[in-house]
Structure 1
Amino acid sequence: MHTLADLRAGKLAGIKRLDLSCGLTEFPDDIFSLSNSLEVLNLSGNQLSELPADLYRLKHLKILFCSDNLFTRLPEALGQCQQLFFVGFKACRIRDVAPRSLPPHLRSLVLTGNCIESLPEELGQHPHLQKLMLAGNRLQSLPASLAACQRLELVRLAANDLHQLPAWLLQMPKLAWLAFSGNPLSDIHVEEPIRPIPWHQLTLHHVLGEGASGVIQQAEWRDEDGTVHDVAVKLYKGDLTSDGSPLKEMAACIAAGQHPNLIPVLGQICGHPQQAHGLVMKLISPRFSTLARPPSLESCTRDVYNGTRLALNTLTRMAAGIASACRHLHARGINHGDLYAHNILWDEDGNSLLGDFGAAAFYPDERTGDRLERIEVQAFGILLGELLARCDAGAEHTAELSALQMRCVQTELSLRPDFAEIERCLQA
């Protein structure tokens, strides 16, 4: 974090990113001294309720974070910022989104955890829009004009008041990642029985990882027979995430059941002293690593790889395993919603595990489920394309995989293969 004192003393001249979280109640005019350089402005965690009308003076501003503030409406000043493409106002008190508050080159709009009941039809006039994050609001519908946003790829609608998913949304040609749990939609999934594991049987050790929905720790589980198992324990937080409810995530993990390419769930924790919810899972071998990092602000909806190179056999086996896991999930009426390389663990032999059910949701009905599967196939096609781009084999050896990849991402959903067909193609 930067300080207001350093800004006023001129010590931050020429910087491209400014982070200020110091209880601000008003926008400091000193920020305009950075108008010739500032591209990223982070004012999250303050007490701001408005932005200056002349915000456009920050003529290079591309990314604006204003989460955890006191805004009740999206500031109209944003609409005049010509370079602004990322707008993040998570966990404020926003009720009103005026048409004039939307910048012309908007790509990512994050309004998670507000009080929004409706969005303006003018939102559909932003053809660059790729990412729309609206979980945890009060939306009963979406503007039909959004159908014109043909580049829209990621949509988060969890924990709203939607009684159905719009037909146009399920036909969007580029949509690949859709989250919608926690809405009053019908639900056709069947509960999967799961073993209760008393809290007193668990001994927790070091933290393995922490995400928006919970903390994962290595642990020992001493069962009723006295046998000790090395396991991983995930304790869920109660807070809403950008994808949805952690408790909905847990329900999807349980309903997913067992599959060789899913992280095995051994049981559900009971008897926690603070009534926390949690799962006990198999401890994954350290030979597995995460396939990629999540998208950056610039890449928007595309994962970031760290020089990964793949042999053709490794790629094919990994892709077949993930397709098999997705086929299994959709056969159970579960849409993963976040099929990304950063949610996949892999090893050099091509073994793979699909994790992170934070965006998962159950089918509202079979017909909708068929569309949801074809949307998730688009995500798989994008993933397969990323893997092919990192394959050491020549084009003549990857021609069949490339043809399959193109089928998965074609704009007409009905012509895309389902996961059963994809799995068969990859196994062959």
Structure 2
Amino acid sequence: MIHTLKDLKADKLKGLKKLKLAEGLTEFPKEIYDLADSLEILDLSDNNLSELPKDIIILKKLKIVFFENNKFTEFPSVLAQLPLLSMIGFKSNQIHTVPENAFPPLLRWLILTNNRIKKLPKSMGDCQFLQKFPVAGNLIEELPKEMANCKNLELLRISSNKLTSIPDWLFQLPKLSWVAFGGNPMTNSIEVESTIKSYAWHDFKIKELLGQGASGMISKANWISENKEVAVKVFKGSVTSDGLPEDEMKASIAAGNHKNLIPILGKIKEHPEDKNGLLMDLISSDFINLGNPPNLETCTRDVFIDKNFSLKEVIKIAKSMASVSLHLHNIGINHGDLYAHNILINQKSEILFGDFGAATFYNRNSQISKKIERVEVRAFGCLLEDLLNLVDKSEIDQNLYPKLKNLTELCLQPEVDKRPIFSDILEKLIN
């Protein structure tokens, strides 16, 4: 819900916990201080703000702040003084400077996507609770080595920056599970050969919207010359929290064929707005999302509503996911977003895995390749743990449950090198 400055000034919002104002503001409204006793979430996205007042520290109960799509050029270090602040969003500003010691002590989730940051402060290493850090679409040339102390970091998006190498410590972080690092000079050298055909936009009659994500919109379409129904994904073209849409398109195509991947039929050419697009099989309406994306509370973990699984179903899902993950890593693709919300499932527990927005190509012959795979193995472990928590209690004493629990623990163990790789996991699940 969007509130109004008029209501705020008229004292009609007393006791409010969450405030959202989007009225082209150029200054921070002082009337917000009247909510100091209750306000926990402040969303001032889509305004023209460029700085925060020093007395914002009056808002001691703030836990979450969003300033997306404003005009900040420097990250406001005054936020470090808010004791309960755990989530900060500054997506799509013009930030080029992040000062030292600018972060609050309880920071868990920091969004700096699509800015102009060249350098991150060394004090990033003091963010001991940081779990989620999307910083794609900046100008960062290297990550500060102090970030090796961010032992709770689970999700990192550093796509579309200026990184020339990956630091050794990154893939040794004990909890790192979801990482996207495409669109950097170190990955740009990997060219994808493709024999996939392109089809003219005017040969498709676009019908209803099926869904949309950060990178684009998927619609149902009639393929006129072939007289069949398909799905068409048109990319928005700007950097997303995961990375660049063209990298997603390349990875979707390079992933090739696997029974648990959504089949790609071709590319779209001659779009009236010169946008890129992919042509895909239309998925049967029997398929639904296995889970919902993380929320503000769960941070990095998916949300499952009213779902229960049998052990047999969990094993079937796990086998399929291990198989498709092995297929991708054999090609040298790190999916980067191995989550239940990117998995479609039907009544027979058959699955389809999609959304390559965070996917990154890497060299299978590099020294670090097995570490990259084992980071994704931790994401697989998180998925398995979530599914096992949804298993009917009557099945927990069975012989299989402890074995799956043990496999989960192997995938989640903090020493990256001691985790199994996907071929080991698949073998264990088959046996």
TM-score, normalized by the shorter chain, greater than 0.5: yes
| Structure 1 ranges of 4+ moved more than 3 A | 186-190
| Equivalent residue in structure 1 for 2:202, among 200, 203, 206 | 200
2:39/2:59 contact within 8 Å kept: yes
1:35/1:60 contact within 8 Å kept: yes
Per-residue CA deviations over 1:168-227 (Å, capped at 9, x if unaligned) read 00111100000011100144465232122222321211100111111100012134xxx4
Q: Quick check: 1:111 aligned with 2:112?
A: yes
Describe the SS at the equivalent of 1:124: helix
Q: Quick check: 1:415 aligned with 2:418?
A: yes
Unaligned stretches of 5+ residues in structure 1: none
1:147/1:169 contact within 8 Å kept: yes
CA–CA distance in structure 1, aligned partners of residues 272 and 63 of structure 2:
46
Q: Quick check: 1:55 aligned with 2:59?
A: no
| Equivalent residue in structure 2 for 1:209, among 198, 211, 231 | 211
**Greater mean deviation of Cα atoms: 91-100 or 370-379:** 91-100
Q: 2:409 matched to which residue of 1? A: 406
Q: 1:32 matched to which residue of 2? A: 33
1:336/1:357 contact within 8 Å kept: yes
CA–CA distance in structure 2, aligned partners of residues 272 and 27 of structure 1:
42
State the shift of 1:348 in Å: 2.3
CA–CA distance in structure 1, aligned partners of residues 200 and 54 of structure 2:
57
Q: 1:327 matched to which residue of 2? A: 326
1:188/1:333 contact within 8 Å kept: no
1:45/1:67 contact within 8 Å kept: yes
Cα root mean square deviation, aligned: 1.2
CA–CA distance in structure 2, aligned partners of residues 100 and 7 of structure 1:
32
CA–CA distance in structure 2, aligned partners of residues 136 and 231 of structure 1:
32
1:188/1:365 contact within 8 Å kept: no
State the shift of 1:365 in Å: 5.3
State the shift of 1:276 in Å: 1.7
Per-residue CA deviations over 1:122-180 (Å, capped at 9, x if unaligned) read 11011101111110111000111111111000000011000111110011110000001
CA–CA distance in structure 1, aligned partners of residues 12 and 190 of structure 2:
59
Unaligned stretches of 5+ residues in structure 2: none
2:204/2:222 contact within 8 Å kept: yes
Q: 1:102-181 residue pairs with structure 2 within 5 A?
A: 102-181=103-182
Q: 2:348 matched to which residue of 1? A: 349
Q: 1:297 matched to which residue of 2? A: 296
State the shift of 1:414 in Å: 1.4
CA–CA distance in structure 1, aligned partners of residues 309 and 164 of structure 2:
44
AA partner of residue 135 (structure 2): L
Q: 1:247 matched to which residue of 2? A: 246
CA–CA distance in structure 2, aligned partners of residues 395 and 140 of structure 1:
51
Cα distance change on mapping 1:41 and 1:16 into 2, 3 Å: same
Describe the SS at the equivalent of 2:101: helix
Q: 2:286 matched to which residue of 1? A: 287
AA partner of residue 324 (structure 1): S
State the shift of 1:418 in Å: 0.9
1:371/1:413 contact within 8 Å kept: yes
AA partner of residue 63 (structure 1): I
State the shift of 1:274 in Å: 2.6
Q: 2:384 matched to which residue of 1? A: 384
CA–CA distance in structure 1, aligned partners of residues 62 and 373 of structure 2:
38
Q: 2:83 matched to which residue of 1? A: 82
> TM-score normalized by structure 2?
0.96
1:208/1:217 contact within 8 Å kept: yes
Describe the SS at the equivalent of 2:146: helix
1:20/1:43 contact within 8 Å kept: yes
CA–CA distance in structure 2, aligned partners of residues 351 and 281 of structure 1:
18
CA–CA distance in structure 2, aligned partners of residues 424 and 261 of structure 1:
18
1:111/1:135 contact within 8 Å kept: yes
Q: 1:233 matched to which residue of 2? A: 232
CA–CA distance in structure 1, aligned partners of residues 223 and 371 of structure 2:
41
AA partner of residue 385 (structure 1): E
CA–CA distance in structure 2, aligned partners of residues 280 and 365 of structure 1:
28
**Greater mean deviation of Cα atoms: 355-364 or 179-188:** 179-188
State the shift of 1:364 in Å: 4.2
Cα distance change on mapping 1:42 and 1:15 into 2, 3 Å: same
**Greater mean deviation of Cα atoms: 269-278 or 312-321:** 269-278
State the shift of 1:361 in Å: 0.7
CA–CA distance in structure 2, aligned partners of residues 403 and 217 of structure 1:
42
1:189/1:334 contact within 8 Å kept: no
CA–CA distance in structure 2, aligned partners of residues 258 and 216 of structure 1:
20
State the shift of 1:243 in Å: 0.3
1:313/1:350 contact within 8 Å kept: no
Q: 1:73 matched to which residue of 2? A: 74
AA partner of residue 330 (structure 2): A
**Greater mean deviation of Cα atoms: 406-415 or 393-402:** 393-402
1:252/1:334 contact within 8 Å kept: yes
Q: 1:369 matched to which residue of 2? A: 369
1:121/1:143 contact within 8 Å kept: yes
> TM-score normalized by structure 1?
0.97
CA–CA distance in structure 2, aligned partners of residues 93 and 169 of structure 1:
27
State the shift of 1:58 in Å: 0.7
Identity %: 48
1:189/1:333 contact within 8 Å kept: no
**Greater mean deviation of Cα atoms: 199-208 or 379-388:** 199-208
Q: Between Structure 1 and Structure 2, how many residues are aligned? A: 425
CA–CA distance in structure 1, aligned partners of residues 224 and 5 of structure 2:
53
CA–CA distance in structure 1, aligned partners of residues 79 and 165 of structure 2:
31
AA partner of residue 34 (structure 1): L
CA–CA distance in structure 1, aligned partners of residues 69 and 194 of structure 2:
38
Q: 1:267 matched to which residue of 2? A: 266
Q: 2:316 matched to which residue of 1? A: 317
